[in-house]
Amino acid sequence: MKAALILANGRVFSGSSIGSTAERVCEIVFNTSMTGYQEILTDPSYAGQAIVMSYPLIGNYGVNHEDNESSRPWASGFIVRHLSPRGSNFRCEDTLDSYLKQHDITGIEDIDTRALTKILRSQGSMNGMLTCAEHFNVQEALEKIRAYRVQGTVERVSCKAPEDLPAYGEQRRRVAVMDYGVKRNIVECLRRRGCAVTLFPAATPAETVLSGGYDGVMLTNGPGDPADNVGLVAEIKKLYDSAIPIYAICLGHQLLALATGARTGRLDYGHRGGNHPVRDIEAGRVFITSQNHGYMVLSDTVDPAVAQVSHVNVNDGTCEGLKYYRPSCFSTQFHPEASPGPQDTEYLFDRFIASMGGDQ
């Protein structure tokens, strides 16, 4: 079946349908990873977006449900140059095309993803429409496309009720995880280090967490514009004003910065992939990191009496981490659990454990 991608700038790409045939309007972003498409699709931070995979062959090792980062895929669309018709791997349980159909994710293949990625890099991430309609009016589609905005996504992806997860082995600490769109492996990294975890819905009042006897709080990744989450920022400020240790990742990093007076801004085309170099300023080392974000903390708005930039993106100099002068509080923009190095930045979880009084 034919399919088309219509961009907000009026450019139309024609290709073949994969996955669902439902019409989708969403934000179009690109990811430079060569592998990990299943983890990408199930990352809640992609809610409201269609993902362009810049690597030309996707789906060649199929789908294994153990690799999901959440209970379901959250991406609205999936855009590839070529989708492998079968998966060749001893862990393969399904084809990627079947997986997309099962979860109603609209996709397109047989388009020039290199040209599409160059447009997004030069003009910035933009909205678009995926459609399988034989006939469509571009001007009518552009009205829908330009009116679309990613919003309300944190509430949609967050858990609906608290959930307790035990530590693996001997329990050393109890951690409250504020679920703004948490990836499963963040929780697993804590549990492997002897932390019993309680997942809390995003809008949980700070008082509920602070009265629960937890040793620390994790603020997680999630989708959308951080500045939209005014209510969450107010609750995070209460957590910050307490003495409880805090580690914040990705969206959590941005929300914590907003709660302490800094501002955030939109990146032209975001950082999405598994090959982003980040310098740990204090350690004097560069790490290869996994990233997925379209917004950043503006370094020059960080109050020098509150925090200092601890990590910097080597490619563009943007803020990748903050070390707060308030005891036991730090944050990173990148994902330390994703381990493209393969485990270079998991030391940050050890640092979090140490900040709670545990052994490294």
pLDDT digits (tens, 9 = 90+) for 34-45: 999 999 999 999
Rounded to an integer, the average pLDDT of 124-130 is: 97
Selected catalytic residue, list 26, 250, 319, 329: 250
Q: Classify residue 161: in a domain, yes or no.
A: yes
Q: Tell me: do 174 and 124 sit in the same domain.
A: no
For residues 358 and 39, the model is more confident at 39
- % pLDDT > 70, the chain: 98
Residue 92 is among the residues annotated as catalytic for this protein? no
Whether residue 151 is predicted with pLDDT greater than 60 in this model: the reply is yes
Number of domains in the chain: 2
Query: Among all chains, which residue has been given the structure tokens 């917004």?
Result: 295
Predicted local distance difference test score (pLDDT) of residue 360: 44
Cis peptide before 342 (omega within 30 of 0): yes
Whether residue 360 is contained in a domain is answered as no
Q: In the 3-class helix/strand/coil scheme, how is 307-319 assigned residue by residue?
A: EEEEEEECCCCCE
Q: Are residues 82 and 94 in the same domain?
A: yes
Q: Are residues 139 and 249 in the same domain?
A: no
What domain range is 182 assigned to?
154-355
Least confident of 97-106, 120-129, 286-295, 331-340: 331-340
Tell whether 309 and 329 lie within a shared domain.
yes
Give the confidence band of 344 by pLDDT, cuts at 50, 70, 90.
Answer: confident
Question: pLDDT per residue over 52-93, tens digit each?
Answer: 999 999 999 999 989 999 999 999 999 999 999 999 999 999
Residues 173 and 314 reside in one and the same domain: yes
Mean pLDDT score, 108-122:
98
Q: What are phi and psi of 42, to 5 degrees?
A: -95, 5
Same domain assignment for residues 332 and 228: yes
- Do 169 and 134 belong to one domain? no
**Whole-number pLDDT of residue 96:** 97
Query: Is 161 exposed, middle or buried, given 0-12, 13-18 or 19+ CB atoms closer than 10 A?
Result: exposed
Tell me: pLDDT of 272 over 60: yes
Can 140 be counted among the known catalytic residues?
no
Same domain, yes or no, for 200 and 51?
Answer: no
Domain CATH code at residue 206: 3.40.50.880
d(CA 20, CA 50): 13
Domain edge (last residue) among 150, 185, 214: 150
The residue-averaged pLDDT of 126-145 equals: 96
Residue 213 has pLDDT above 70, yes or no: yes
Does residue 205 share a domain with residue 159? yes
6 domain-assigned: yes
Residue 171's pLDDT band (cuts 50, 70, 90): very high
Using 50, 70 and 90 to split pLDDT, how confident is the model at 342? low
Which CATH number fits the domain that encloses residue 72?
Answer: 3.50.30.20
The answer as to whether 174 is a domain residue is: yes
Active site residue 329: no
Which contiguous run of DSSP H or E holds residue 184?
helix 184-192
220 has a pLDDT exceeding 80: yes
What pLDDT sits at residue 338? 82
Query: Do 111 and 174 belong together in one domain?
Result: no
Give the chain's mean pLDDT. 96
Say if 290 falls within a structural domain: yes
